[in-house]
Amino acid sequence: MESGIAQGTSQRIIMHLDMDSFYASVEMQERPELRGKPVVNGADPNQGKGRGVVATCSYEARGFGIRSAMPISQAFVLCPHAVFLSPDFPRYLKASADIMAILKAHGFPLQQVSIDEAFLDVSRLGTFPAATDLAVRIKETILAHLGLTCSVGLAPTKVVAKIASDVHKPDGLTVVEPENLFSFLAPMPVRKIPGIGKKAEADLFEMDIRTIRDLAAFDIQVLIARFGRSAIALQDLAGGIDKNEVKERDGVKSVSREMTFTDDTGDEYLIAATIDALAEEVCRNLSDESLHYRTITVKVRYQGFVTMTKARTLPHYTGDSETVRTCAHALLRDIFDGRKIRLLGIRLSSFDTCDARQMTLGV
Ligand code: DCP
Ligand code: MG
C-alpha cells in the first residue's frame, strides 16, 4: 500500500504533528486568565502531601523543572504557586477529535498515535516545500479553530518526522529534507531514537556510544553480540533508514491478553499471580499507544464455560502495568465467586470501543 508516494519517485514525505502541552493548553484556551502562568495538570497536590503524578504542564511550569509523570508532590515543591488542575478528559477528547478531523480533511493517509499526535503521509504532494506549505496551513487552521498550537516535523521517515516535531517545541515547524537527514540525526543523543530507553542508553554509554553518529558508525557485530538482532534495526534507525509506513488503523483501540489454565483452578495464589502476569503482558510494548487506553476489563471463564466480565474506566489514560494490575485485582475480587477458573483475561480499551476491532496478543 504505497498510495501516499508521488508517482515516479520513491521519496516519502511524512508529517508528524504533536500538540503543545496538550491538556494544559486546552485549559488555558478556555480560561484565558491562566495564560502565561505555570499550570500543572494531574493529581491533587494536597499541599505537597498528594499522591499521583503530573499528566502535563504548561511551558511556564516546565521552566520550574516540572515534567509529565513526575510525582505531584515534587511538582508542588518546585512551584507551590502553580495553578494545579485535575484533568477533564471529555474536553481533551473533544479537542483531540476536532484536531484529527482537521488533519483528515486533507485526504492523506493518517495514523493517530496518541490523544494529541498523528502521522500523515503527504508524499503525494511531491516536494518538501509543498509539504511545508500544508504544515503551515494545518497549524493555522488548528490555531484558528481551537486556539491551540502544535509542533510539526517533516521528514522522509516516520521516526525522523517524530524526532523533528519535538526539536522546536512549542509552536515549532522543523523540516528535514533527505540531504540533511544524517546531519540532523548525527549529533543527537541516542536516547532520541524511539526504542532506546534508560537501560539501553546506559548500556550504549558503557560502549562509549553517545550520539546517533556514534551508533551509526559502530561495528554491527559487536552491537549484535551485546543487544541481539534488534541492534540491526537500531543501527538502521541511526542511519536514517526506517521503512515503517503510516498505517491507517480503522479503530483498533483495544488490546487484550488471555490465559487458559492447564487444569481448572481455584488456587487464589495462582489466580493472583496470573493476573500479575497478564497485566505485565498486556502493557508490554504499548509505548505511546497507552494514551488510548482508559478502560480495564477482566474476564473470567469458570469451569463449565460460564464467562463473566467486569470493567472499570479510569479517570486517566494508562498503559502502566502497576495501575492495570491493581485495578484488575479489584475487578477480579468483585466477580470471583470461588468456583474453579478455566480462563482469565485482561483487556485495555478506550472510551469508544463499541465498534473497536479487538487485537488479541495471544492465548
Ligand atoms: N499525558 C499523560 N501522562 C504522561 C504523558 C502525557 O497523561 N506521562 C497526557 C497529557 C498530555 C498528553 O497526554 O497533555 C499528550 O502528551 P505529550 O507527551 O504530547 O505531552 P504534551 O502535549 O502535554 O506536551 P508537549 O508539548 O511536550 O508535547
Ligand atoms: Mg504533545
At 56-112, the pLDDT tens digits run 999 999 999 999 989 999 999 999 999 999 988 878 888 998 999 999 999 999 998
Closest residue to atom 1 of ligand 1, CA basis? 55
- Locate 84 and state its grid cell: 494545579
| Beta-carbon count within 10 A of 124 CB | 16
- Tell which wins on pLDDT, 326 or 5: 326
pLDDT over 70 (residue 251):
no
- By CB atoms closer than 10 A (0-12, 13-18, 19+), residue 6 is middle
pLDDT over 70 (residue 340):
yes
* pLDDT for the residue 329: 96
Q: Which residues contact 203 (CB under 8 A, 6 or more apart)?
A: 226, 227
Distance 22 CA to ligand 2 centre (A): 5
- By CB atoms closer than 10 A (0-12, 13-18, 19+), residue 159 is buried
At 138-194, the pLDDT tens digits run 999 999 999 999 999 999 999 999 999 999 999 999 999 999 999 999 999 999 998
- By CB atoms closer than 10 A (0-12, 13-18, 19+), residue 47 is exposed
pLDDT over 90 (residue 53):
no
For cell 473470567, name the residue. Answer: 300
* pLDDT for the residue 1: 39
Q: Are strands 295-302 and 307-313 parallel, antiparallel or unpaired?
A: antiparallel
pLDDT over 90 (residue 298):
yes
**To the nearest whole number, what is the mean pLDDT of the chain?**
88
Q: Is the CB of 18 under 6 A from ligand 1?
A: yes
Q: Which pTM value belongs to this model?
A: 0.75
Closest among 21, 19, 52 to 38, alpha carbons compared: 21
Indicate the pLDDT class of residue 267, thresholds 50, 70 and 90: very high
The preferred substitution site among 54, 58, 68 for testing ligand 1, maximizing ligand atoms within 8 Å of CB, is 68
268 is annotated as an active-site residue? no
Task: Tell me the one-letter amino acid at 34.
Answer: L
pLDDT over 60 (residue 354):
no
At 191-223, the pLDDT tens digits run 999 878 888 899 999 999 999 999 999 999 999
Q: In the chain, what percentage of residues exceed pLDDT 70? A: 90
Q: Is the CB of 95 under 6 A from ligand 1?
A: no
Q: Which of 2, 27, 30, 117 is the catalytic position? A: 117
* pLDDT for the residue 285: 66
Cα 344 to Cα 33, 221, 264, 281, 295: the distances in Å are 50, 42, 11, 13, 17
| Beta-carbon count within 10 A of 363 CB | 9
Cα 280 to Cα 2, 252, 320, 362: the distances in Å are 35, 20, 9, 14
Distance 114 CA to ligand 1 centre (A): 9
Mean per-residue pLDDT, 37-66:
95
What does residue 288 show for φ and ψ, rounded to 5 degrees?
Answer: -60, -25
* pLDDT for the residue 250: 53
- Locate 349 and state its grid cell: 480499551
* pLDDT for the residue 287: 60
